[in-house]
Amino acid sequence: MQSRAAVIFALLGAGLTPAAASAQERQIRVAVTVAATPEQVWPLWTTDQGVRSFFAPGSHIELRVDGAYEIFFDPAAPAGLRGADGMRLLAVEPNRRLAFTWNAPATLPYARAQRTVVTVDFATVGKDSTRVTLRHIGWGTGPEWDEAIRYFEPAWNGFVNPRIESTPWTSRMNREIAPNR
């Protein structure tokens, strides 16, 4: 077992302070198994029609690395206040993995000005099932970041995940919720 000093030295050597390391470790993790193939699930997350079917009433998606991944919870609001305005795709591996930047609600201006990262992984389970695992990482430290993570835990777990589960092709689900801090 390493001593505290050795751990701190290793973190500082990697350019991380102990506080930054603990911020990087915080994550929200949501996983669900749906009765559909990755090819059937992928378009839900990667097309405007798919996103609008379960996530939000508006979107702008350019399916390429550094393309737009904007999710509009209030499409009629002014630009910058519609939801996930200005977010970008970081990784696009068809039917396997999607990663994008994400922002906090407008009520949390400091955290909103930063970016966190959401990854969505699609793994085949059996013949016609897919395990969809969402991870939300990149949280800072402090009261506003704490409030942001408290906001997103029920958003991913209580809003997005149930909507994926209720899509017409999901006949069998195994839901797992494991936020880690």
| Residue ranges of domains in the chain | 25-177
Per residue in 37-72, pLDDT (tens digit) is 999 999 999 999 999 988 899 999 999 999 999 999
Both tokens of 155, joined, read: 């958003």
Per residue in 148-163, pLDDT (tens digit) is 999 999 888 776 766 6
CB atoms within 10 A of CB 126: 10
Ramachandran angles phi, psi of 15, nearest 5°: 85, 15
Q: In this predicted structure, what is the pLDDT of residue 13?
A: 40
Is residue 174's pLDDT more than 80? Answer: no
Is residue 106's pLDDT more than 60? Answer: yes
Q: Are 46 and 98 in contact (CB under 8 A)?
A: yes
CATH architecture type of domain 25-177 = 2-Layer Sandwich (3.30)
68-72 own/partner pairs: CB under 8 Å, 24+ apart: 69/100, 69/101
The closest alpha carbon to 165, from 135, 130, 140, belongs to 130
